[in-house]
Structures are given as C-alpha cells and as structure tokens.
C-alpha cells in the first residue's frame, strides 16, 4: 500500500444475476448492461419483444432481420483507422481506435487490432494492459508485441514480424482513466485497485457492445508489471459474467506479491554480483532469523540501514532496473530532476514500499505542490521520446480519433501514479479462485534479468499457491531464425497454471526476446504444452 493512504476495504465483484430464462438470454440481466443508455443490440432486442400496437404497423420481418444483423456485426462508425501516419504501406488487417465510455464521465481510449493472416476469423480475443500503475498500454503496442513498431525518429513505423495479432485479435486499453488519452470529465484521477478492476470490466463490456461479433470468442486477459494486480482483479469480475467466454490469463513480469518481490530481489541482487559480501553478511545477521529472511518490512534498525544501502544500489545507482544487462537510456538518472520547468520523476514505487527510505520518498511526492501539467513520470532507463513524439503528432491524433480536449500523451501518468491507492499486497486469493474453478489456463512468465518484478519472486509466489505439479522444472525449447532448437528459458507446470522464464529477457519480454516470446504466447493461447 502506498505511503500516506489508508487501507480501503476491497470491493468484490457482485454475483451475476440470472441471465438465461426459459432458454432465452435476458440482455437486461447481463452484468454491465447499459440499461440507462442502451446500445443498438439491446434497443432492437427490446423492440422485438414489444407487443405490436397495430398489426399493419409491424415492419416486414426481413427489415427486422437486416436491422439486427447490422447491429450484431458492424463495427462502430468513425472508429476504424483508415490511414495511419508513418507506415510505408497500410495494413491488410483492420484496426480501430476511439473511446469506451465505461461510465458517463470516464472515457477510456483504446486501440484494437484485428488478427492478421489465415484463419483470422477463428482466432481469440485478447485484452492487453501495461502496468505502472499509470503507464499506457499503447507502449505495449508500439514497443513490444503490436503489429506496428515505432522507429527511433518518432515519425515512422515498421511492421513487427513477431506481432501477437498474428495469433489473436488484441485490444490495447489505456487504463486507468488519466493514462495516455483516457480522461475523466471531472479530471479527478485518484483511484485504487478495486476501482480500476471495476472500470476495466465496464470498458470491456462496452467494447463488446460496440463490437458484438467478438462477444462469443474465446477471451484471454493479459498484462505486464502492475498488470500483475490489474489482470487477476479484473478476472474476478469477468469469470462471474456468463456472457463472457473467459479462457485464461497471462501475466508477464507481474507484481504478484510485494513481500515475495522484495525478499527475492535482495537474493537476486546478491547472486548477480550487485551486493558485496560485507553487506550480505550484515543483512543476514540483522534481517534473518531461523533460516528465514524478512527484507520486506523488517523493523530491526540495522536491517533498515542495510536495506537503505540495497535500495541505493538496486534502484538509484544507475543500473537499468528493467534489464540488468542493458544500458540505461539517457545515462544515470536520479530519483527525479527538473527539466524546462517540469518535474520529471523516475520512480513507479513498486519495490520496498515498506522500507523507510522508500516510504519517505512517496510522502515527499504526495506533498509536492505541482500542477499535473508541470510533472511527468518516466520509467527509469527507458527512452520514451519516440512513442511520445509519434502519439502527439496532430495527424496521428486525428487518425486515432483522439478527442480534441484530450491531454498530451505521455507513456506514464504522474497524477495517476501519485494518486493511486494500492489495496492488495498479494494476489494469492485471486489466483486461488481462478484455479479453484478448474476452468482457466494461467501463465505467469518472467524475463530472467528483470529487477522490477524479478523471476524468483514470481516463482516463489506460484509455489506458494500449492498446486499439484504436473511437469517438473525443465528447459523449454523454441526454434530460432536458422531453424535450430534453442533453450527459451525454464518452465514448471502445475494443474492449470504454468510458471515460465524467458532467458535473457528483462521486464518487457517481447521487446527483448521477440521470437521466443511469440512462441510462448502461441503455445499459451492454443493450449499446447511448453
């Protein structure tokens, strides 16, 4: 939980109302039905159920059929992207961009890319959420696994040979409200874990209202980083909605538990040569007892002092926290800087939040009297200039149907991050509910050189769920560009859940290791063994 915030009681998704009666689907009983502002399909359904006032006034049956077909198959007018600046050649597949009005005052921007290639009509629907909290999922599209890859000049796009939309229709949603081009009429961007899950669920329902032809498709919820919170909490809503065909979830380098993430990171740092033997001995003496170490919230003074040194090395020395072996774009950053009258913060606030050094920094951020347009949040060691330049191009905004009053696009939102309440400290209960149903495939995958959400912490977390092991930890194989088998990483498979590492990848796995990442994703959504 962020410093300075009281713990709020989690809001659990409601039990679904009975949506089927007498062999018919009651549209008004489905979760998220827009009863006060019904869409086309719901309006026509109600019209069809009304008794005729005059037999002569009844429209011809063929006309009704045509009306219903149009409502059920047509994408929303004005959302299709007919020309995307920066591409040498426009794509053969369709893609759409616009707003999903999750509530009357909450407008979430999305970019939806249809599947490409043979058999596209039979491919599943995938929702993708980047993390933060407060970072845009468009980063996932333009820099990780989308069909278009931003080039260093910030004005041209290339095609991604390992685009995940070769395997699925993918919805990239800018969430929470306040991220990217998403906005609220009130401009109040304070939010929390449970509110984000609820609004994301409503946005997904609104998407399927606008694109009803996708409502019966297999659905997968996927995300990265703080998506480790977003995705399981959203799944609690989706799994209770009988109108949604949820098949599974996948989380990459996710924050699954603050405690295991913190405790494992210290081990990761020591065994990767970042901590000297003196510091390690001091930590063992002051933070550990009975063979168990608590680096997460230990109150021992000597442990606190040792952990302050760990934080300075891991987070503040200039190492790339997202990829230990990659250079830091822009050189060694501090925790923040001022640039052209703007405060630029580099701290997303996910590691060691219970340590005094980290919590005092969060308190400092919360008390800063800075206007939202005078502050920026940049992920450390990541060059955000290319996607930022591209997304703020007036022609790109027009092509993506961005509202004129939408703010300037930034990869991460300082107001959202600063005002975010972290309610859940672990996703244990959420995963156990998913696994207890025995209906869903679950994948937790990690690049093995990431320090933001390290592989060891997520492996410990999966082990703590105490599921039955089906396949012991072993290497998994993919075929490289030369047709040779290579080790992609390691995998351990349990009943309905798999933990997998990607060798040589950091926090953004598809960016660092696109080919094995594509192979992994393909096996996951098709249900093939790793």
CB atoms within 10 A of CB 146: 25
pLDDT tens digits along 48-105:
343 333 333 344 444 444 344 444 456 787 999 999 999 999 999 999 999 999 999 9
Residue 343 pairs in a beta bridge with: 338, 375
Least confident of 14-28, 361-375, 516-530: 14-28
Report the half-sphere exposure of 329 (CA within 13 A, side-chain side): 13
DSSP labels, 305-368? HHHHHHHHHHHHSS--TT-TTS--TTSS--SEEEETTEEEE-----SSTTSHHHHHHHHHHHH-
Provide mean pLDDT across the span 381-406. 96
What residues contact residue 489 under an 8 Å CB cut-off, 6+ apart?
A: 448, 475, 476, 500, 501, 502, 503, 505, 516
Q: Would you call 14 helix, strand, or coil by DSSP? A: coil
The share of the chain scoring above pLDDT 90, in percent, equals: 73
Domain that residue 45 falls in: 34-73
**Are the beta carbons of 214 and 169 closer than 8 angstroms?**
yes
**Does the pLDDT at position 144 exceed 80?**
yes
- What confidence category does residue 7 fall into, taking pLDDT thresholds of 50, 70 and 90? very low
Gap between the Cα atoms of 251 and 234, Å rounded: 12
- Among residues 371, 320, 315, which one has the least CA distance to residue 347? 315
pLDDT at residue 363 in the model: 65
Gap between the Cα atoms of 245 and 240, Å rounded: 10
pLDDT at residue 422 in the model: 94
Gap between the Cα atoms of 32 and 453, Å rounded: 33
The verdict on residue 21 lying in a domain is: no
- Among residues 278, 282, 277, which one has the least CA distance to residue 303? 282
| pTM given for the model | 0.85
Gap between the Cα atoms of 361 and 5, Å rounded: 14
Provide mean pLDDT across the span 254-275. 98
The verdict on residue 80 lying in a domain is: no
The total domain count for the chain is 1
pLDDT tens digits along 367-393:
666 555 677 788 889 999 999 999 999
The verdict on residue 44 lying in a domain is: yes
The verdict on residue 61 lying in a domain is: yes
The verdict on residue 232 lying in a domain is: no
Residue 450 catalytic? yes
Give, in order, the Cα–Cα distances in Å from 218 to each of 35, 109, 205: 25, 23, 14
Q: Which of 450, 458, 498, 511 is catalytic?
A: 450
Q: Which of 225, 243, 345, 413 is catalytic?
A: 225
DSSP labels, 477-524? EEE-TTS-EEEEEEEEEESSEEEEEETT--SSHHHH-HHHHHHHHHHH
pLDDT tens digits along 162-194:
999 999 999 999 999 999 999 999 989 999 999
Residue 507 catalytic? yes
Class of residue 84 by CB neighbours under 10 A (exposed 0-12, middle 13-18, buried 19+): middle
Mean pLDDT of the chain: 86
pLDDT tens digits along 226-251:
999 999 999 999 999 999 999 999 99
The verdict on residue 64 lying in a domain is: yes
Q: Which of 137, 458, 507, 512 is catalytic?
A: 507
What residues contact residue 484 under an 8 Å CB cut-off, 6+ apart?
A: none
pLDDT at residue 365 in the model: 62
What residues contact residue 464 under an 8 Å CB cut-off, 6+ apart?
A: 257, 260, 428
The verdict on residue 56 lying in a domain is: yes
**Does the pLDDT at position 3 exceed 50?**
no
Gap between the Cα atoms of 60 and 70, Å rounded: 16
**Are the beta carbons of 313 and 305 closer than 8 angstroms?**
no
Give, in order, the Cα–Cα distances in Å from 338 to each of 225, 276, 280, 407: 27, 33, 35, 21
DSSP labels, 103-120? ETTEEEEEEEE---STTG
Beta strand 292-293 with 288-289: parallel, antiparallel or unpaired?
Answer: antiparallel
Residue 225 catalytic? yes
The verdict on residue 57 lying in a domain is: yes
**Does the pLDDT at position 111 exceed 90?**
yes
Give, in order, the Cα–Cα distances in Å from 336 to each of 216, 374, 376, 473: 47, 13, 10, 41
What residues contact residue 60 under an 8 Å CB cut-off, 6+ apart?
A: none
């Amino acid at each position: 939980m962020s410093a300075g915030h009281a713990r709020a009681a989690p809001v659990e998704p409601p039990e679904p109302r009975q949506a089927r009666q007498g062999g018919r689907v009651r549209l008004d009983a489905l979760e998220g039905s827009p009863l006060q502002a019904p869409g086309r399909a719901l309006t026509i359904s109600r019209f069809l159920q009304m008794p005729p006032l005059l037999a002569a006034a009844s429209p011809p049956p063929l006309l009704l059929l045509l009306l219903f077909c149009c409502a059920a198959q047509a994408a929303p007018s004005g959302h299709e992207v007919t020309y995307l600046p920066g591409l040498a050649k426009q794509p053969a597949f369709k893609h759409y961009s616009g707003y999903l009005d999750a509530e009357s005052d909450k407008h979430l921007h999305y970019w939806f890319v249809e599947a490409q290639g043979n058999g596209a009509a039979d491919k599943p629907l995938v929702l993708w959420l980047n993390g933060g909290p407060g970072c845009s999922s468009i980063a996932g599209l333009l820099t990780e696994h989308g069909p278009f890859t931003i080039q260093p000049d910030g004005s041209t796009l290339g095609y991604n040979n390992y685009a995940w939309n070769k395997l699925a229709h993918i919805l990239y949603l800018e969430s929470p409200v306040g991220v990217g081009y998403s906005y609220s009429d009130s401009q109040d961007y304070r939010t929390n874990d449970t509110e984000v899950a609820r609004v994301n669920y409503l946005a997904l329902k609104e998407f399927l209202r606008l694109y009803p032809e996708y409502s019966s498709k297999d659905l997968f919820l996927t995300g990265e980083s703080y998506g480790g919170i977003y995705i399981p909490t959203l799944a609690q809503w989706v799994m209770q909605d009988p109108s949604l065909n949820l098949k599974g979830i996948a989380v990459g380098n996710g924050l699954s538990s603050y405690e295991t993430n913190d405790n494992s990171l210290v081990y990761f740092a020591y065994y990767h040569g970042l901590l000297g033997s003196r510091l390690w001995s001091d930590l063992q003496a002051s933070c550990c007892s009975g063979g168990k170490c608590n680096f997460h919230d230990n109150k021992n003074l000597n442990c606190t002092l040792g952990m302050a040194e760990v934080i300075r090395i891991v987070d503040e020395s200039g190492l790339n926290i997202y990829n230990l072996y990659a250079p830091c774009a822009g050189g060694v950053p501090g925790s923040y800087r001022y640039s052209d009258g703007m405060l630029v913060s580099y701290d997303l606030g996910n590691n060691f939040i219970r340590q005094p050094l980290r919590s005092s920094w969060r308190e400092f951020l919360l008390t800063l009297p800075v206007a939202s347009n005078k502050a920026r949040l940049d992920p450390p060691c990541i060059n955000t200039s290319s996607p930022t330049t591209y997304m703020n191009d007036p022609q790109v905004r027009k092509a993506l149907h961005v509202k004129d009053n939408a703010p300037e696009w930034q990869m991460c939102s300082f107001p959202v991050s600063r005002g975010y309440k972290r309610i859940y400290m672990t996703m244990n209960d959420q995963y156990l509910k998913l696994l207890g149903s025995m209906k869903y495939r679950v994948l937790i995958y990690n690049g093995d050189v990431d320090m933001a959400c390290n592989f060891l912490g997520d492996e410990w977390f999966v082990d703590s769920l105490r599921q039955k092991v089906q396949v012991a930890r072993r290497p998994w194989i993919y075929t490289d560009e030369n047709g040779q088998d290579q080790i992609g990483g390691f995998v351990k498979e349990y009943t309905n859940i798999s933990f997998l590492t990607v060798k040589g990848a950091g926090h953004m796995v598809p960016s660092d290791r696109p080919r094995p990442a594509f192979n992994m994703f393909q096996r996951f959504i098709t249900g093939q063994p790793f």
